[in-house]
Structure 1
Amino acid sequence: MNFRTQIPIQKQQHNQVDYHSKVLLLGSCFVENIGDKLSYYKFQTLQNPFGILFHPLAIEALITDAINDKEFTEDDIFLHNELWHYFGAHSKLSSPSKEALLQKLSQQITATKEWLNSATHIVITLGTAWVYRYIETDIIVANCHKIPQKQFQKELLSVDAVIESLQAILVLLKEYNPKTQVIFTVSPVRHLKDGFVENTQSKAHLISAIHQVINKEQSHYFPSYEIMMDELRDYRFYVKDMLHPNETAIDYIWERFQNIWIADEALLTMKTITEIQKGLQHKPFNSKSEAHQVFLKKLELKKRAILEAFPHIIF
């Protein structure tokens, strides 16, 4: 007997991720779960250069600004709670120094442009269709930076509005980097601060819009949300907040992603890198013992073999 349903997903036949690929990851906190896995296995990645971005308009704005070489000035940033912030970035970029923030924004926008130009794959994970409009400037922000909510107007992006944003993203990417593959996914993290019904409505808008724009040539859909909601429909797959997937769930979704998007020829390298990573974390009882010295020599040989094949890898 089979006690659960499994979502059938066809393996990607072309343009898979290997150790020559460059993967840019943008979007919600779940994209960082996938990004952390790729980073652990030493794939070439850049992950959320402007921090976590939850909705499509924020991701569209970042891509547009990067391609257009946006230059940041003091007019773009503001002081709140003794920190300087930028409405288009996550608060992890915020700084007590406005000069430091402007420098950081400039560095990150340059890095984003470089990766948009060279990325073989761009993973975009959408978290919500709910957005906040800053009333003073009538601009939708990526992050409210703990400014009082009364200064914002909360809005739900319509399906058409999400479609328009995603189409703009795809047009920009196709013109700037025609060979890149875009992988859309919807975060399985539920935004229950919006409300239970409102979260479902939001996710539905995102999913409906994505399926209107994907073409299976340049853009694709990976069902991380559906895997979490259907295959892992049990609270034992969540952390204590009962909203975010736990390590077991992340490992499972990563395994499904790996089976579809990671090239078969990369799997042996991944296995060796896992052995190296575990070896680097190993703490011996006696660091001067002969057995440990033999272990270190074997570990070094594995590292050399990997670095000869892929010089860009850093342990």
Structure 2
Amino acid sequence: MQFHTEFTPEPLPHRIALTSRIVSIGSCFAEVMGHRLAAHKLTVLNNPFGTIFNPVSIAKLLTMALNGTAPDENRYVERDGVWFHYDFHSSHHARSRNDLREQLMQCLLTTADAIRQADFLLLTLGSAVVYRHIETGKVVANCHKMPGTLFEKYLYSYEYLIDDLKRLLKTLRKANPKLRMLLTVSPVRHTRDTLPLNAASKATLRVVAHELTTWNDWVHYFPAYELMVDDLRDYRFYEADLIHPNAQAHDYIFGKFAECTFDAELRSFVAEWTAISKSLAHRPLYGDDSPTHQQFLTKLLTQLETLSKRVDVSAELTEVRGRLKKCILSEVRNSHV
């Protein structure tokens, strides 16, 4: 007897390897996925623009970065002594306009460089509902808690979305011909838009994603949205707000992602690294100076030194060496008591 509709996404024709370079862009789900990829020691630039929900702003920012275009000078806004920019998330802010300009320029340069070197771009579309700044007539990435009367909210049409993203694909392909895109629709529901409008928004994004993957063999779709709403169809997989997937849901979706996108070597490494991560989190029950704990740390240090030939574990090596040194010094002090 089955109690839910379980499915496994089709495997990608080109798999992510341990040496792959990845850029993750988009909604908060993109950030979650980026963090998990980085936690498995993959090289990831994770949501450099901050959380960006709508495809219009995503396309604009990536195009700006790759074309070397400076942020629009008319889009800076000051609130309570802090400066923001309507094309970026509020995580990008500064006490002066000039400081923010420098910060944003560096962000665009870093992103452009990462895109040109990347093997994969993980692009997560969050919502087709946009906010247009009435005075300028332009869509904003974030309203920065400015008065709602300054904006008009509406569902962006499919025709305009597909045009924007097709232009973006051409720009990306020109900048990096070897780049492959993993396209997802965020499973996070935008209930503030009302459930009917959220449904229309997600449907629009899903059709856009289908169209892009149909006509571009280097663009692939990962069904994070379907895994959440069909496979995990239960509120126990949501946070208390009943909107965001919880850690258990993230574990499940990421597991499916790894299964269909990671190559055999990376899957083997992930299993090895997961075991080492548990060892790194381990703390002794009976003090740091026991011979058993010293042996444990020495073995862990050897494992990390072996891994250091494949991935960057410098921070972990420093931590374990420090713990082992402390353990040995504690043993020496006790022996003189």
| TM-score, normalised with respect to structure 1 | 0.95
Aligned-partner SS, 1:309 = coil
Cα displacement string for residues 155-206 of structure 1 (whole angstroms, at most 9, x for unaligned residues): 2111111111221121111111111110111001000100110000000110
Q: Counterpart in 2 of 1:255?
A: 255
Aligned-partner SS, 1:190 = coil
Q: Counterpart in 2 of 1:28?
A: 27
Relative to structure 2, which stretch is displaced further, 69-78 or 147-156? 69-78
- What is the Cα-based RMSD across aligned positions, in Å? 1.6
Aligned length: 314
Relative to structure 2, which stretch is displaced further, 114-123 or 284-293? 284-293
Aligned-partner SS, 1:17 = coil
Runs of 4+ in 1 over 4 A off after TM superposition: 72-76, 311-314
Q: Counterpart in 1 of 2:185?
A: 186
% same residue: 36
Contact 1:29 1:52 in 2 (8 A): yes
Q: Counterpart in 2 of 1:57?
A: 56
Aligned-partner SS, 2:308 = helix
Offset at residue 312 of structure 1 (A) = 8.0
- For residues 251 and 191 of structure 1, the distance between their equivalents in structure 2, rounded to whole angstroms, comes to 22
Q: CA 1:89–1:313 in 2, change beyond 3 Å: closer, same or farther?
A: farther
Q: How does 1:1-315 map to 2 (within 5 A)?
A: 1-13=1-13, 15-72=14-71, 75-214=74-213, 215=215, 217-285=217-285, 286-311=287-312, 315=316
Q: Unpaired runs of 5+ in structure 1? A: none
Offset at residue 235 of structure 1 (A) = 0.4
Aligned-partner SS, 2:12 = coil
Contact 2:21 2:44 in 1 (8 A): yes
Aligned-partner SS, 2:91 = helix
Offset at residue 313 of structure 1 (A) = 7.1
Offset at residue 97 of structure 1 (A) = 3.1
Contact 1:272 1:302 in 2 (8 A): no
Cα displacement string for residues 284-314 of structure 1 (whole angstroms, at most 9, x for unaligned residues): 2311211111111111111111111235875
Q: Unpaired runs of 5+ in structure 2? A: 317-337
Offset at residue 8 of structure 1 (A) = 4.3
Offset at residue 216 of structure 1 (A) = 5.8
Contact 1:58 1:142 in 2 (8 A): yes
